Amino acid sequence: MGIILGVIAIVTTFINLYMYKAGKDYKLAMALGLSYTALTLCAEYSLVSEWVKKGRLVTFRGST
């Protein structure tokens, strides 16, 4: 899911850059790019938290 959202975020960001360079109204593309980027981060955070809960990801603690 995170990969799909990441690809959508990249595509909308490129659309945003194109519309900005062309001098068109780019506010919707900018909002979509930021929204999909935030959703990608949430999906990846959820994935990693599930790995930690199931013990698939080893966490390292620094010695104090």
Task: Give the span between the Cα atoms of 48 and 19, in whole angstroms.
Answer: 35
- How big is the CA angle at 49 (ends 61 and 47), to the nearest 5 degrees? 130
pLDDT at 59: 61
Task: Give the span between the Cα atoms of 57 and 60, in whole angstroms.
Answer: 10
Contact 5, 43 (CB under 8 A): yes
Digit-coded pLDDT (tens) for 11-43: 999 999 999 999 999 999 999 999 999 999 999
Distance of CA 21 to the CA centre of its chain: 23
Question: Whole-model pTM?
Answer: 0.76
pLDDT exceeds cutoff 90 at 51: no
